[in-house]
Amino acid sequence: MRLSLASCLVASAAAFSSPAFVPRTAVRTALSMALSQDELKQMVGYKAVDDYVESGMVVGLGTGSTAYFAVERLGEKLKSGELKDILAVPTSIRTKEQAEELGIPLVTLDTHSKLDVAIDGADDVDDDLCLTKGGGGALFREKIVEVCAEKFIVIGKFVGS
């Protein structure tokens, strides 16, 4: 059975407010059943840009399958004119190429070492909010960009109990 996102969100809200509290795992299971992994990644990637990126910002762009959607959304909002005067620092060749294809103006940390926000994915996030980051070639660059950012927005999968 495939549930709509609205149904899952209503079910989630009801679960947390009812006297018979439903564990987080049940809510996550309902969301997972309703949406594919890519749909969930797109949803959180888009939300990160929608909620944390404003015109005139310098943005750090992470690398990976979830960060891909944040870069995609940033490109869409620039193209539509909803965002203006954005500069971005990519954390990998792959992200650089994607941003260039989308028309996102790129800079480096050499010219812009203070970033307003950085958005990147994490492989897992546990109950203590400890992140598991991939061990790929972009990890070092991602860490440097994150340290230079005023805010670091993590998008990823929660695996707590």
Rg of the chain over Cα atoms, rounded to whole angstroms, equals 17
Question: Is the pLDDT assigned to residue 14 strictly greater than 50?
Answer: no
For the stretch 79-129, pLDDT in tens is 999 999 999 999 999 999 999 999 999 999 999 999 999 999 987 778 888
- pLDDT band of 33, cuts 50, 70, 90: low
Residue numbers annotated as active site? 142
* The pairing of beta strand 58-61 with beta strand 115-125: parallel
Contact 95, 72 (CB under 8 A): no
DSSP H or E run through 12: helix 5-17
Question: Is the pLDDT assigned to residue 28 strictly greater than 90?
Answer: no
Residues 6+ positions from 151 with CB-CB distance below 8 Å: 52, 116, 117, 118
Phi/psi of residue 121, each to 5°? -90, 165
Mean pLDDT score, 143-158: 89
CA distance 49 to 127: 24
**Within 13 Å, how many C-alpha atoms sit on residue 95's CB side?**
30
